[in-house]
């Protein structure tokens, strides 16, 4: 699906999400084009008749903008379809991850659509719907057969995105290697996945660490080999403050699951659904 923003300018192709915070209203699937009543009352929404979502479109193929400013990716398509089923207009606000939860708490948007990992700390303040399973992949240059299992990473130089899940898990793996008497990895950190893979392309590292859909996309394009996949799987989620919004989104997702649209969309991006029935998780007291 190709989604054109109605605003005159959308900057989301810069290397850092902090450089770009632009408002995008998607023209496709708007509530005005539908002959139905919104299924979430205006009193529970930031803007009447609109599902306002925070996202970070810097992670192809999950969420990104092409050179024309067109929003694309799994999370974008899923959010638009959910809004359509709820007879709401989908509206995206591009922002960096650090602002997403404060913005949600400050009523700047109705939900965070950025695959936030489900943690106990977040569940103390957020309602979350796990829907995607995020796992780590190891990519190598085509023809390199030196890495086929996790222990093969011992002593290697790898690239990973700074501050992300991959960085944390690679540091945990290094601690495990050292405890077992194996040589630790040298971990070079970069701002985003584009530069993570550029380091591999330039021969600065022997492997690139990313999430499965990103590694699969590079492999499908014939650029690199997805040498290891499915490491350290963890659920990614939609996040909310309002129970009414969370329940509405959950209902739409369950409808998608029942008619096959949910699984078809996930499969088209090579993403495994998270365990669970797409209900929202209550707060941890």
**pLDDT at residue 134, rounded to an integer:** 87
- Indicate if the pLDDT at residue 26 is higher than 70: no
Q: Could you tell me which residues come within 8 angstroms of residue 79 by beta carbon, excluding any fewer than 6 positions away? A: 51, 53, 55, 90, 92, 113
User: Given this model, what pLDDT does residue 58 score?
Assistant: 81
Other CB atoms within 10 A of residue 8 CB: 7
Which of the two residues, 41 and 191, has the higher pLDDT score?
41
Taking only the tens place, the pLDDT of each residue in 77-92 is 999 999 999 999 999 9
- Cβ atoms of 207 and 140 within 8 Å: the answer is yes
- Model confidence at 3, in pLDDT bands (50, 70, 90)? very low
Q: What is the pLDDT of residue 5?
A: 39
State CA 53 to chain mean position distance. Answer: 13
Model confidence pLDDT, tens digit, residues 147-178: 999 999 999 999 999 877 889 999 999 999 99
CB 84 within 8 A of CB 101: no
pLDDT, position 55: 95
Residue 185, sorted as left (phi over 0), alpha (psi -120 to 50) or beta, turns out to be beta
Mean pLDDT of 56-63: 89
Using an 8 Å Cβ cutoff, are 160 and 189 in contact? yes
Neighbours of 29 (CB within 10 A): 20
Question: How far is residue 275's CA from residue 135's CA, in Å, rounded to a whole number?
Answer: 13
Cα–Cα distances (Å) from 77 to 4, 55, 131, 237, in that order, read 12, 12, 14, 15
**All domains in the chain, ordered by first residue:** 17-134+234-273 (3.40.190.10), 135-233 (3.40.190.10)
d(CA 115, CA 98): 14
| pLDDT of the residue at 114 | 94
Max mean pLDDT among 98-102, 134-138, 197-201 falls in 197-201
First to last CA, the chain: 40
The pLDDT of residue 98 is 86
Residue labelled with tokens 């501050």: 163
Distance between CA atoms of residues 24 and 221, nearest Å: 29
* pLDDT grade for 34, boundaries at 50, 70 and 90: low
pLDDT digits (tens, 9 = 90+) for 234-253: 999 999 999 999 999 999 99
pLDDT at 187: 98
Tell me what pLDDT residue 163 has.
79
């Amino acid at each position: 699906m190709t989604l054109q923003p109605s605003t005159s300018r959308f900057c989301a192709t810069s290397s850092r999400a902090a450089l770009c915070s632009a408002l995008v209203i998607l023209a496709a699937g708007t509530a005005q084009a539908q002959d139905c009543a919104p299924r979430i009352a205006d009193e529970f929404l930031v803007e009447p008749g609109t599902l306002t979502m925070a996202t970070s479109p810097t992670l192809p193929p999950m969420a990104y903008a092409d050179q024309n400013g067109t929003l694309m990716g799994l999370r974008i398509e899923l959010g638009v379809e959910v809004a359509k089923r709820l007879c709401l207009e989908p509206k995206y606000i591009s922002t960096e991850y650090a602002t997403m939860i404060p913005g949600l708490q400050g009523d700047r948007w109705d939900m965070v659509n950025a695959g936030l990992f489900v943690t106990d700390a977040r569940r103390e303040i957020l309602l979350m719907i796990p829907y995607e399973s995020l796992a780590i992949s190891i990519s190598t240059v085509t023809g390199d057969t030196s890495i086929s299992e996790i222990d093969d990473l011992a002593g290697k130089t790898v690239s990973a995105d700074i501050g992300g899940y991959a960085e944390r898990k690679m540091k945990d793996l290094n601690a495990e290697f050292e405890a077992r008497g194996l040589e630790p990895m040298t971990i070079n950190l970069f701002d985003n996945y584009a530069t993570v893979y550029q380091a591999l392309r330039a021969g600065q590292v022997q492997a690139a660490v990313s999430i499965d859909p990103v590694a699969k996309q590079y492999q499908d394009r014939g650029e690199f080999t997805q040498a290891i996949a499915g490491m350290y799987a963890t659920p990614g989620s939609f996040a909310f403050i309002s129970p009414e919004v969370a329940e509405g989104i959950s209902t739409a997702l369950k409808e998608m699951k029942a008619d096959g649209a949910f699984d078809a969309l996930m499969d088209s991006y090579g993403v495994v659904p998270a365990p669970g029935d797409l209900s929202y998780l209550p707060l941890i007291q």
